[in-house]
Chains A and B, each alone.
Chain A
Amino acid sequence: MAWRWFHQWGSPRWFYERASRWQAWAGWIAVILLAVGTVWGLAIAPVDYQQGHSYRIIYLHVPVSFLAQALYLAMAIAAAVLLVWRMKLADVAMQSLAIVGFAFCVLALASGAIWGKPTWGTYWVWDARLTSMLILAFLYLGIIGLRSAMLDPNTAGKACAILALVGAINLPIIKYSVEWWNTLHQPASLTLTEKPAMPASMWVPLLINICGYYAAAAYLVFASMRGLVLHRERRAQWVRELVGAHD
């Protein structure tokens, strides 16, 4: 069946068994890549001709900002799957992605503020990029809050899914904010389509760190999803056996 690869995601047990392995892989990849990328970026990469050493926070700021948006996109896709196919696992994914994504979004805002003070001369400015990123943080927070506020898990899941889909409009606004409007934030240095606006000695460690943070996010999401799956399926036979086997 053409849809088999998709429908097997409907089985919590199938997912739980595989996610343990994926989580371990993601964890090791994250440790290796982040160790290499961070040491390379912070100690070996050359200084910038204008900002000196303070530009090195780019090795944290850019990856976590990418992740804050990528995790939201993943959450919006999970929301669509939940609404169309009513797949339980999509609801679990949304719940985990919201929490991990919010953490990355806060890191992006905080590292940006710390970088802004020495280079721009201010922690915060209400330009389009910073404001749309703050809205992303509030969207995450709203989705987390909405779920906790509703008693029935099924209704809560659907309400969160609709809010997540509506909020996805913010993603292109964040991406293009630096091109559509005059902002204090500079345009992207690293894009998929163009040559990087920095030499390889600077962008290679940045790319390694971006991949490393993606792996770290995958690790966190899988860990959280596995816990939630066990809790939701706590009355199922396979969970009882699994838990009993470890006694």
Chain B
Amino acid sequence: MNPKRKQRLLIILGMVFGLGIAVGLVMYALSQNINLFFTPTQIATGTAPDDQFIRVGGMVREGSMTRDPSSLQVAFDVTDFDHNVRVTYTGILPDLFREGQGVVVQGRVHNGLFAATEVLAKHDENYMPPEVTEALKQSGQLDKIMGRN
């Protein structure tokens, strides 16, 4: 490689490297703002802002869901298995919403209750046929595979 090309290559590598560091530092500084949601633990420990419009993400706790028989109102606990947040919501839930499933809810904390204006279902990277899920459930292996213990 001739010296001129080598010099240009070095300049370009230096430029990309420098920019990479600059962007990396910006991303690191902004990391709290880039997170889509707070965890229930952050709500319980007061890290999340009170009475402000925020998102909370976690699992819907098994057996915590109650429906109002005469309206679309539902209430359920969102948990990260350390702390729970009680969520109320009026509206149609996404298809994937069920107990034990991940959700991200948007709204604000009011009197210790989280009043949600939007409920989004989160799913993980695992895909499998229903027969396999059944077999795993019967042998008690499902939680191990899904990484929740």
Q: Measuring CB to CB, which residues of chain A are less than 8 angstroms from any residue of chain B?
A: 3, 46-51, 54-55, 58, 80, 83-85, 118-122, 125-128, 165-166, 168-169, 173, 180-184, 186-189, 197-199, 201-202
Q: A118 — which chain B residues lie within 8 A by C-beta?
A: 94-95
Q: How far is the CA of A120 from the CA of B95 in the complex (A)?
A: 8
Q: Is the CB of A120 within 8 A of B94?
A: yes
CB distance from A191 to the nearest CB of B (A): 10
SS of B interface (majority): mixed
Q: Is the CB of B12 within 8 A of A199?
A: no
Q: How far is the CA of A155 from the CA of B141 in the complex (A)?
A: 61
Q: Is the CB of B129 within 8 A of A47?
A: yes
8 closest A-B pairs by CB = A121-B94, A46-B129, A198-B127, A49-B133, A127-B36, A189-B125, A49-B130, A182-B35
CB distance from B20 to the nearest CB of A (A): 6
Q: B93 — which chain A residues lie within 8 A by C-beta?
A: 121
Task: Decide yes or no whether B126 CB sits under 8 A from chain A.
Answer: yes
Interface centre among B23, B96, B127 (most CB of A within 10 A): B127
Stretch at the interface among B59-67, B71-79, B113-121: B113-121
CB neighbors of A among B28-76 (8 A): 31, 34-37, 39, 57
Are A188 and B94 CB-contacts (below 8 A) given A49-B133, A84-B5, A168-B16?
Answer: no
Q: Is the CB of B34 within 8 A of A128?
A: yes
**Sampled A-B contacts (16; CB under 8 Å):** A46-B131, A47-B129, A48-B128, A51-B95, A118-B94, A119-B95, A128-B36, A165-B12, A169-B20, A173-B23, A186-B123, A186-B125, A189-B125, A197-B126, A199-B127, A202-B128
Q: Is the CB of B8 within 8 A of A119?
A: no
CB neighbors of A among B81-100 (8 A): 93-97
Q: Closest residue to A126 on the B side, CB-wise?
A: B36
Are A119 and B118 CB-contacts (below 8 A) given A80-B12, A182-B36?
Answer: no
What would 10 more interface pairs be, CB under 8 Å, given A84-B12, A120-B122, A169-B16? A51-B95, A54-B95, A118-B95, A120-B123, A121-B121, A128-B34, A168-B16, A180-B31, A180-B34, A182-B39
Q: How far is the CA of A126 from the CA of B9 in the complex (A)?
A: 37
